[in-house]
Every structure is written in C-alpha cells, then in structure tokens.
Chains A and B, each alone.
Chain A
Amino acid sequence: MFDNFPLWPDRASTAAGNVDALYIFLLIVSGLMTLLIFTAVVYFAARYRRQQGVQAEQIEGSTPLELTWSIIPMFVFMAIFAWGAVVYFKGRTPPRDSTEVYVVAKQWMWKLEHAEGQREINELHVPVGRDVKLIMTSQDVIHSFYVPAFRMKQDVLPGRYTVEWFRATKPGTYHLFCAEYCGTTHSGMIGSIVVMPPAEYEAWMSGGTTGPLSATGEKIFAELGCVTCHRNDTQGRGPNLQGVFGKPVQLADGRTVIADENYIRECILDPGAKRVKGYQPIMPTFQGLVSEEQLNALVAYVKSVSQAGTAGAKTAAVVPPAPAEAPSKGSKVQ
C-alpha cells in the first residue's frame, strides 16, 4: 500500500497539484539562492584568503546594491505571497454542492458521519471526483484533521465548527493524522481516507445505514420540543427555520449575521447571544443536553429544510412575525 521510503507524498487531490507546484517553485528559488550564497562565500573565502603583503580593501558599502537586493527579493516575496494566497483561498472555499461529512474529534479518535447517515470511526470513505466538505468540531481539546496526500489540514476546535474540503482524484488509501498535539495518544489518533471509484462507493454506501443525518436531526428536533416554537409558519414563538440556512439574519441588537453551521450551533447552546430581531428571549439553552453528534444532526436537519423546496430558496431573511402572512410554501423534508 505505501512506499518503503517515500521522499514525496502521494498526490491524491485537486489541491495537491497546486500546492506541489508552488512548493517546487520555492525549492527552485531556494536552491538557487542557497547555491548563490554558498558559491559566493566559498569562492570569496578561497580567493581572498589571507596572503602576505595583500591588504583588505575597505569598501564602505553601496546604496544602489542595498536597494537592489532589498527590492528584488521584495518583489519575489510578493509573488510567492500572491501565489500562496490564491492556493489558500481555493483550498478554504468549499464548493457549493459539496457532499458533507460531519467530524467529531475526541481524545483519541475520529468519529465521522456522512450526511447520508453512514458512521465511521477513524476511517473516511469518499468517492473519487466528488467535492467533500468536512464540518468538524471537537469534544474536548484542539485536534487537527490532516491528510498529507490531499495537502490539507485544519484545526478542529471545541465549541465551534471548522470546515475543510477536498476533491479526491486517485483511488487508494491515505493517511489521516491528528496534527495538533492533544495528549497521550496524539500519535495514535491516526486513520485512513479510503478513496473509491464512484461505483464501488455507491456499493459501500448502500451497505446498512441508520438513515440520513438530517432525518436523525428531525427526530431530535421533535424529541427536544424545538418544533413547538419553531413551527413551519409565522405563528411560532420562534423563527420558522425553513430557508434560513446560509442566508443573512437580522439580530435584535442590530447586527446582521449569516446563518451558517456555527450560528445554528450557537443558537442551540447560547440562545441569548445572537437573538433574532422581533422574537422574545425565551428559548432555553441546550448546553449539556445535546451531544456533539446530536448537534451535528440538528444542524444537518436545519440545512435540509433550507435546501428542499422553492420557498426556502427564495426567502431572503428571517421575517419577524406579522399578523397576516401567507403560509410558507416549503415542502416537508423526507
């Protein structure tokens, strides 16, 4: 499976090629620079070795030279910065229709749950050629989800979601490492990313599941009583969540925020922090009452009621309750 003595990591994602290109460029630039300095030092040291009767020549300096070797490196550095920034930007912007996988890190294992419902421990099966977005949080300390073959890494924090994405290009099994020191078995918190051709992946997917994550979320949504206030119309004591996800929300304190994963999570755990305008501060906190996995399921559910149905896609912002409002046209989630 793995080489005996690799000097270069596998290239298994679309990002890998971009990162490698910049790296090779830097290797060349650094190599040349190193060669230049080494050669100059060795040559000068030999050529100007102390000899009887030969005095050193006192050269004060040369402002043009100083400016040259300040400005030219500056331009080279700016080029490297720009290139690195472009690669970074691409790597940090998940494409719109990525398949989502929720990751919960804990000392010392990775728990993963596909949006379709498959659960994995320390292993992640993905299809070749599909954009996969990881929505990650930690149960305890800071970890970091690192796949060298994809050239991607993102710290996984307790208390919030962080996101990374990739598109695998080559079937195979690749290392997954935890890259932020997290205690005793930090170096044992490793796993594999299994990249499969699409047909094989579909086969693997259909092998037993508890149903999509959003369905689990819908169940929890009902069990915890969320549905009593967050109704599918405008009569609820809480905002209608249909079409909310991913759109701007006006808050009671005047700010406007985007309803992303972190916002949904924060609303569940600390409802007063970013209360929606026009609603009373009556939502109880669920801190300590929901696990990370349950939070992931709830977030997946809220997302799902924004993707399904046309009304969800058209609503620009959560509207404060008004007396005569047309009932929402969003279709129910399956």
Chain B
Amino acid sequence: MSMATATAPPVERENYLNKHYGVGSWLLTTDHKRIALLYLMSITFFFFIGGFFALLIRLELLTPAGDLVQADTYNKLFTMHGMVMVFFFLIPSIPAVLGNFLVPMMIGAKDLAFPRINLLSWYLYIIGGVMMLHCMLTGGVDTGWTFYTPFSTAFTNTKIVEAGLAIFVAGFSSILTGLNFVVTIHRMRAPGMTWSRLPLFIWAHYATSIIQILGTPVIAITIVLVAVERTLHLGIFDPKLGGDPLLFQHLFWFYSHPAVYIMILPSMGIVSEIIACFSRKRIFGYGFVAISSISIAVFGFLVWAHHMFVAGISVYAALIFSLLSYAVAVPSAVKVFNWTATLYKGSIRYDAPMLYAFGFLGLFTIGGLTGLFLAALGIDVHVTDTYFVVAHFHYIMVGGALMGYLGGMHFWWPKISGRLYPEGWARLAALIVFIGFNLTFFPQFILGYVGMPRRYYQYPPEFQVLNVLSTAGATVLGVGYLLPMIYFLWSMRYGKPAPDNPWNAAGLEWKTPSPPTTFNFEVEPVVTWEAYNYEEIDAHPDQEAPSVG
C-alpha cells in the first residue's frame, strides 16, 4: 500500500491545467504542455479515423470477392488510411505530444525556444487536418498514399490537389516543430546539462528534428509540382508530354524514406527512457545509442531508391541503394542489442510502460529483420508491392512506433495529468495489443511471399485463409487500442492522484510536481549528475513507487 499518496486530494495546487480556464486560454496558449495536449486530442482523433478505414479494409478482405464496397471506394479507403495515418498521426504523434511536453522539461527549460511558433505549428496541423477531412468527405483520393504519376497527375479524377495541399500545410507544422526542438536543445539547456548528460529521448528527438527540417520541404515541392502539373496539364512527370514519371518517384521517396525514421526514432527514445527506469540502471552503451540515432538520421537520407528496385532504375543504381540500405540497418541493430544488454543485471518491474517496451523490442526486431529481406535485391523483386512490404512497415510503424508511443503515454501520464492510470487494465491492454498485432500482421508476410499484391480489393480464393486470420487479429487489435482511450479518460476524473515521481525515475521532468506548473521549474535547475543516475536515486529512496495504480 503506497504511503505518499493520500486517498482524498488536498486543495488542488495551481498547475498548468488549472491555471486558466476557458476555451480561449487553451486556443491561445503558448505553454508547450497545453499545446502538447491540444495535439494529443487532434492526433487521437485522426488515429481513430485512420483506424476506421483500416477496419473497413480488413472487412472487405475477409472474402476473395469485392463485395463489401465498390472498387473505387476500396481504393479510396486504403489511400486515406495511408495518408491520415502517415501525415496526421504517425509523423506528428510522439514529437508533437510527448516531445512538446517533455523536451523543455528534460533539459531544464521553461518552454521551447519559440512558444508562439509552437502554437502556430498546431494551427497549421489543424488547418491541414480540416482540409484533409473536407477532401475525404467530398470524394476523397484514390491514388494510394504514394500518389505516383502519371496516374495522379493525368488519369484519376479524385481530389489530389486538395489532399496534396492538406499534406503541404501539415508538413509545415512538422518543419516548425523540428526547428523549435533543434534550437531549444542547442540553446536552452540548463546549466550543467551538457550534451553527454542529455536523456536519450532528447537525442532521438534531435535526430528526428533534423530529418523533419531537411526532408519535409522536398515533399512539399513535389506536391506543388504535382498540383501545378495536374491543374495546368504540364509535362514534368507525364511521359506523353516529355516528362519522366520516375523523377516523381525519386523526389517523393527522397522525403518519404527519411519520413519513416521520423516515425520510429522518437519511439526509440521513449524505449530508452522506459527500459532504463524499469531496470533501474543506465542504458548500456549510452554514447553508442545516442550516436546511432544521429547515424540513422544521416544514412536515412541516402537510401530512398530502395523503394524503386523494380521501377526501372539502372542495375547499378539498385546495387548502390541496396548496399546503403544494409548500412542503415546497423545502427538500429546496435540499439536493440544495447537495450537488451541493459536488462542484464537490472532490477526489472513489469509495469505497463515496460510491457510496451518489451513488445517494442520483439516487434521492432522482427520488423527490422524483414527489412533485410527487402534490401536484398534478388528477394525484393519478388516481394516488393506485395503484402510482405505491408507487413514489414506495419511491424515497424505499429509494432514499433505505436507501441513506443503507448508505452510513453503510460509512463508520463502521471506527470501529464496528475493521475494514475489503472495498472491492471493497462497490462491487459498491452497484452491484447501484442497478441492482436501479431495475429493481424504475421500472416501478411506469408501472403506476400505467396504472391498477393498490395492494394488489392479482390484476390484469388487460395489467399482467403490468411486474410481471415489477419482480419481476426485486427479486431483484437482494435479492442487493445480502445482500452487505453477509455481508461485514460476515466483516470482524468477517477484516477488516483499521482505523486511527483511515481516511478522514481531519473530525469529533470520528474523533479516537477504532477502535473507541473506553467513554467515547469521554480528555480532554474543546475545539473551536476549524469543521465540515468539510478544508483544515486535508489540509494535514497524518499518515495516508494506504488505497486499498482
């Protein structure tokens, strides 16, 4: 039974949540923590929209015939699922929610470098989101989220320009967030917070921000070119007018490959924080893990054409990109080894955040290993554009990025909301997600190798059994995602008030009240200790962490 938490909370201390009331105080806030919550609500909304489309896709794929929706509708479903999930959920999610909330606190700052730009960032996201919603409600897009030319510029008559502009605007949101983080991390660290004392969460977000800054403008200009070509019937990408469709693919993937590292790096940062805390020790090989984040960001810009091995590029180009793709796999592998080694001789607890971290380790390992298959030219020829690729990227983005996000939400929920979530339900949800996820996506590896192409609305009957398994898994997975929605909301009203540091975790963010005050720190902290100083923390247990929330 915990000692530090009272059953009836005293008169509520002033914090960032109750400092001002009213819609205006939220919509015009410059507090990074409030902006993080604004993002939390928005991206959760888009997650369920994207998830709803996924549900319809999997329902259609229960039977070989196209009998639930029409072909054009199905094509719109997978397109919108991809666009919403990539641009309006995965790319913002961790940086905009947990990054915004935690980056200033972890480095001992009062806010990000540019709080008003941070708010602008959210408004741009909302504007882009509204444009995308409008586009979906008035007909949608059917090009696939990759909108290859000349189909997207000269053949389809769905709303490409509108969807493209929505993504363009949301892209600016991403750029500004990255810009804010880089300047903040460089210039606003508290005294004593040297680069080598930074939490790995910060290193991960720094690397992510570099990609956001340098990569996103390229897809922005690609969207502009597609929009102009489509509207004015130009020939930049249309071979009938002298253009080259492969130029589009190069420009598109030059961003969209680094984009996948935007989606996974922050999650890796979270996993580092969680594993350190729940093993009560410093991450093994801190320096290597930090540098591997930067390496992934840099190398990630050099491998884009591995999406184009059968697109018509030269054999020699294919060789180079295959080689470089193996190079970028090494730092990811290094991280997995380091996290595993951290567990050795740790003192491990199985709280929900740690269960998500374990799930991440397993699923990211599988996802990453299947990347090796795809980078092998001989195999890629067979499995590209099939469900093998679909399974691969869902293992990384859902099994990896989303698991990390959920783990992080659970880990920092007490800090963000001042409440404890119900631990029993959280562990159950983690288990359901893990099982549901594997059931959904593992059959898809097999489906891909036997030859089922992606974006198929109808398929030969011998593929049905595997598809049914996958759909069954998807329903389980859906339940697993609904549970946290429900109990997080429940906890905001009925959850136990959280102590300042329920996990006895290291990190400056835990030295603030739960929830924190608007300016985070009453007195600017001066850092004299290394990151993950668990030995020191455990030598002075001033607060028992509650065993179950």
Interface residues in chain A, defined as those with a beta carbon under 8 Å from any beta carbon in chain B: 2-9, 18-19, 22-23, 26, 29-30, 33-34, 37-38, 40-41, 44-45, 48-51, 54-62, 65-66, 69-70, 73-74, 77-78, 80-81, 83-89, 91-92, 107, 140-142, 144, 146, 148-149, 151-155, 157-160, 162, 175, 177-188, 190
From B71, B319, B340, A44 is in contact (CB under 8 Å) with B340
Interface status of B346 (Cβ within 8 A of chain A): yes
Are the CB atoms of A23 and B372 closer together than 8 Å?
no
Chain A residues with CB under 8 A of B382:
19, 23, 148, 151-153
Are the CB atoms of A77 and B451 closer together than 8 Å?
no
Interface status of B336 (Cβ within 8 A of chain A): yes
Known contacts A50-B348, A77-B372, A155-B310, then 12 further A-B pairs from the complex at CB < 8 Å, ordered by chain A residue? A2-B462, A4-B465, A22-B376, A55-B535, A62-B285, A89-B315, A144-B310, A157-B239, A159-B239, A160-B312, A186-B455, A187-B66
Q: Mark B306-341, 1 if CB is under 8 A from A, else 0.
A: 000111100100110011001101100110111011
- A8-B449, A88-B315 known; A33-B72 Cβ under 8 A: no
- A37-B362, A81-B323, A183-B155 known; A61-B285 Cβ under 8 A: yes
29 inter-chain pairs at a CB distance below 8 angstroms, sorted by A residue, are A2-B462, A6-B450, A19-B382, A26-B372, A26-B379, A37-B340, A37-B361, A40-B343, A44-B344, A48-B348, A55-B538, A60-B286, A70-B334, A73-B329, A77-B372, A80-B326, A91-B381, A107-B155, A144-B310, A148-B451, A153-B310, A153-B384, A154-B312, A157-B246, A179-B384, A184-B75, A186-B456, A187-B456, A187-B458
Interface residues in chain B, defined as those with a beta carbon under 8 Å from any beta carbon in chain A: 66, 71-72, 75, 142-144, 148, 150-151, 155-156, 239-240, 244-246, 279-282, 284-288, 309-312, 315, 318-319, 322-323, 326-327, 329-330, 333-334, 336-338, 340-341, 343-350, 358, 361-362, 365-366, 369-370, 372-373, 375-382, 384-386, 446, 449-451, 453-462, 465-466, 534-535, 538
Chain B residues with CB under 8 A of A60:
282, 284, 286
- Please measure, in the bound complex, the distance between the C-alpha atom of A98 and the C-alpha atom of B456, giving whole angstroms: 32
A-B CB contacts (within 8 Å), total count: 279
Chain A residues with CB under 8 A of B365:
33-34, 37-38
Residue of B nearest to A140 (CB): B155
Are the CB atoms of A178 and B453 closer together than 8 Å?
yes
Are the CB atoms of B348 and A49 closer together than 8 Å?
yes
From B282, B336, B377, B385, A180 is in contact (CB under 8 Å) with B385
Are the CB atoms of A61 and B373 closer together than 8 Å?
no
Are the CB atoms of B381 and A153 closer together than 8 Å?
yes
Chain A residues with CB under 8 A of B377:
84-85, 87-88
Chain B residues with CB under 8 A of A141:
148, 150-151, 155
Chain B residues with CB under 8 A of A88:
309, 315, 318, 377-378, 381
Are the CB atoms of A182 and B151 closer together than 8 Å?
yes
**At the interface, is chain A mostly helix, strand, loop or mixed?**
mixed
Are the CB atoms of A85 and B75 closer together than 8 Å?
no
Are the CB atoms of A84 and B287 closer together than 8 Å?
no
Chain B nearest CB from A151 CB (Å) reads 4
Are the CB atoms of A58 and B453 closer together than 8 Å?
no
Chain A nearest CB from B495 CB (Å) reads 24
Chain A nearest CB from B166 CB (Å) reads 20
Residue of A nearest to B347 (CB): A56
Are the CB atoms of B333 and A81 closer together than 8 Å?
no
- Please measure, in the bound complex, the distance between the C-alpha atom of A45 and the C-alpha atom of B345, giving whole angstroms: 9
- A18-B378, A61-B285, A74-B330 known; A187-B350 Cβ under 8 A: no
- Please measure, in the bound complex, the distance between the C-alpha atom of A6 and the C-alpha atom of B311, giving whole angstroms: 28
From A3, A40, A179, A183, B453 is in contact (CB under 8 Å) with A179
Chain B nearest CB from A86 CB (Å) reads 7
- Please measure, in the bound complex, the distance between the C-alpha atom of A185 and the C-alpha atom of B456, giving whole angstroms: 9
- Please measure, in the bound complex, the distance between the C-alpha atom of A91 and the C-alpha atom of B377, giving whole angstroms: 10
- Please measure, in the bound complex, the distance between the C-alpha atom of A158 and the C-alpha atom of B244, giving whole angstroms: 9
From A34, A65, A159, A183, B240 is in contact (CB under 8 Å) with A159
Residue of A49, A144, A186 ringed by the most chain B CB atoms within 10 A:
A186
Residue of A nearest to B378 (CB): A87
Chain B nearest CB from A81 CB (Å) reads 5
- Please measure, in the bound complex, the distance between the C-alpha atom of A77 and the C-alpha atom of B460, giving whole angstroms: 35
What 4 A-B pairs come out closest when comparing CB atoms? A159-B239, A148-B451, A87-B378, A84-B376
Are the CB atoms of A81 and B322 closer together than 8 Å?
yes
Chain A residues with CB under 8 A of B318:
88
- Please measure, in the bound complex, the distance between the C-alpha atom of A180 and the C-alpha atom of B311, giving whole angstroms: 9
Residue of B nearest to A78 (CB): B326
Chain A nearest CB from B12 CB (Å) reads 33
Chain A nearest CB from B444 CB (Å) reads 13
- Please measure, in the bound complex, the distance between the C-alpha atom of A87 and the C-alpha atom of B286, giving whole angstroms: 39
Are the CB atoms of B329 and A77 closer together than 8 Å?
yes
Are the CB atoms of A66 and B288 closer together than 8 Å?
yes
Chain B residues with CB under 8 A of A37:
336, 340, 361-362, 365
Are the CB atoms of B373 and A181 closer together than 8 Å?
no
Chain B residues with CB under 8 A of A175:
451, 460
Are the CB atoms of B343 and A77 closer together than 8 Å?
no
Are the CB atoms of B344 and A48 closer together than 8 Å?
yes
Chain A nearest CB from B157 CB (Å) reads 10
Are the CB atoms of A61 and B330 closer together than 8 Å?
no
Chain A residues with CB under 8 A of B309:
88
Chain B nearest CB from A173 CB (Å) reads 12
Chain A residues with CB under 8 A of B538:
55-56
Chain A residues with CB under 8 A of B373:
23, 26, 30
- Please measure, in the bound complex, the distance between the C-alpha atom of A70 and the C-alpha atom of B341, giving whole angstroms: 14
- A146-B385, A151-B381, A187-B457 known; A59-B315 Cβ under 8 A: no
